Structure 1
Amino acid sequence: MRDVNISPIRAVRRAIDVLNAFTTEEPELTVEQVSEKTHLPKATVYRILYTMETTNLIRYDEETGRYRLGIQFLSYAGLVTSTYDVVRESEEVLIELHQRIRQTILMCVVSGDELLYVFRRENAEGLKFSSSVGQRRPIPYGVVGKVALAYLPPAQLDRILAQPIEATTPYSLTDPEELRRRIHAIRQDGFYIDIEETTIGVCGVAAPVLDITDRLAASVGIIGPTVQLTDHLQNARDYLLEATARISQKMGHHPSATTTGI
């Protein structure tokens, strides 16, 4: 985000806070719930919701008394997808990767201090994962998050590691110094392997997609059940690195520009 010496418009900021209250976990909310999540007065929340309802940004269900995001966001989503280079350039490669490995493929980008999932392809049957397209998580989350963490600007990395990191399994990495060591290894190796650090019974491997400026464009991961994927992680890594190299090339990255160390 640019550092501009202009004060944000309060009403617009409040409207954005209201929209951000809706998540994949809670797609439908009452006025009271939005008020509680945004810390805004209920009357203010009601006026904001009604205003956005008139423009199809919000939909109100009279039977349940709940609000959800409106159909106007579908047109915005189509516009973003059509213009967001890394998604467009990677989709064919990632679908091919899924066909080769037959495990879940995830891709995320860094949005502010969060991960934003922009691609997921999984098998029709078998283990399902909670991360979905459009969902946001803390950057250190999961195998794709560790890779994203490794390519953050130093100031942002320091800010992220200064915050508590939630442990989701007994094997989760939460110590900042250990994470820095892992980050150094990721920058050297170009990939990261997670064995039940995020979810018991699940493992994965992830690698970065780099752009023409040698910056992170996206993080791509192969995720699967430990009992199925553990013995095939090396093959999965090789397929993944081949795929991310192809996408990076499409994004204008030259392999000789890769930075090592941190």
Structure 2
Amino acid sequence: MENNNQIKSKHPFNKEGSSVQAVERALLLLKLIGENPSSISVGDLAKQAALNRTTAWRLIGTLENQGFVEKDPFSKGYQLGYALHQLTSKNDSYGYLIRRARNTLLKLKEEMGETVLLSVPKHDGTLTIDQIDTDHSVRLVDYTHTISPLHCTSNGKILLSLLPQKELDILLEQPLEPLSKYSITDPEELRKELEKIRVQKVGISIGELDENENAISAPIFNKKKDLVAFITLGGPSFRLTKEDLLLSSDRMLDAAKKIEEQIE
């Protein structure tokens, strides 16, 4: 008569198998995160999935490393990540916004002669969902489908400037990584920069992400006044100077307004 160990070895897809069980548990966690209206803590996930906290932490860590879940830096809870949207919708989750903004992006690129980007806010940065490159041979790198940090980008600083004070305080307690020699790493200096953005309504980055690139961004709001995206003009620093960016502020705000008129 076969014992239990023999039975398990002959049935590798048995639910009791450790590898399959881990997959099943990870999928359960994804379902629970997806069903939750806001970010959810690992403790609550473990409780709802009837898992011990260590197992839940290990599974969530794996899902986070692969981009299937994202950690909210403020609540420390988890929500579904961008990798899952890529697999299930081929970027259709942003298709509506891209289609509505595309004509404005094209027109801005033709007028300004530099690369134009469309990005959306994320908890840990900004995600570029569309990029229209300049015709010049020297141009920005392709940022499409990449997440850029908040403290050293023109669109990221806009997002920081719009955060409630408590959330901003929590974020600025974390070290600000220098991505270039011009990155702002002093929290108080960054706060002063954010005050300027609140007044000027545009964000500017002068070599802060890459010392050879400059950029300016404007926020895009929906009809409910929720922040939904950013439009950015960027180019090499030798061609797109700080003075050029400042002179284009009104044009950027006008482009953002035109996109707002096209979305709900």
Question: TM over 0.5: same fold?
Answer: yes
Structure of greater Rg: 2
Fraction of identical pairs, as percent: 24
Name the structure 2 match of 1:239.
Answer: 251
TM-score, normalized by length of structure 1? 0.66
Q: Taking structure 1 as reference, are residues 86 and 149 closer, same or farther at Cα in structure 2, changes over 3 Å only? A: farther
Higher alpha-carbon deviation: 177-186 or 147-156: 147-156
C-alpha contact (below 8 Å) 1:193/1:204 kept by paired residues? yes
Note the residue ranges of structure 1 that are not aligned, 5 or more in a row: 22-68, 253-262
Runs of 4 or more above 6 Å deviation: none
Name the structure 2 match of 1:167.
Answer: 178
C-alpha contact (below 8 Å) 2:221/2:229 kept by paired residues? yes
* Corresponding residue to 1:76 among 54, 79, 89: 89
* Corresponding residue to 2:115 among 88, 92, 104: 104
Q: List aligned pairs for 1:108-257, cutoff 5 A.
A: 108-130=119-141, 132-230=143-241, 232-251=244-263
- TM superposition shift of 1:132: 1.9
Aligned residues: CA RMSD: 3.0
C-alpha contact (below 8 Å) 1:109/1:219 kept by paired residues? yes
C-alpha contact (below 8 Å) 1:110/1:139 kept by paired residues? no
Q: Taking structure 1 as reference, are residues 186 and 81 closer, same or farther at Cα in structure 2, changes over 3 Å only? A: same
Q: Taking structure 1 as reference, are residues 249 and 12 closer, same or farther at Cα in structure 2, changes over 3 Å only? A: farther
Aligned equivalents of 2:169, 2:98: Cα separation in 1: 28
Note the residue ranges of structure 2 that are not aligned, 5 or more in a row: 1-36, 50-55, 69-82
Deviations 1:179-228 (A, max 9, x none): 11211211111112322233223222111112223332112211112221
Aligned equivalents of 1:18, 1:227: Cα separation in 2: 37
Aligned equivalents of 2:211, 2:39: Cα separation in 1: 41
- TM superposition shift of 1:243: 0.3
Aligned equivalents of 1:187, 1:93: Cα separation in 2: 24
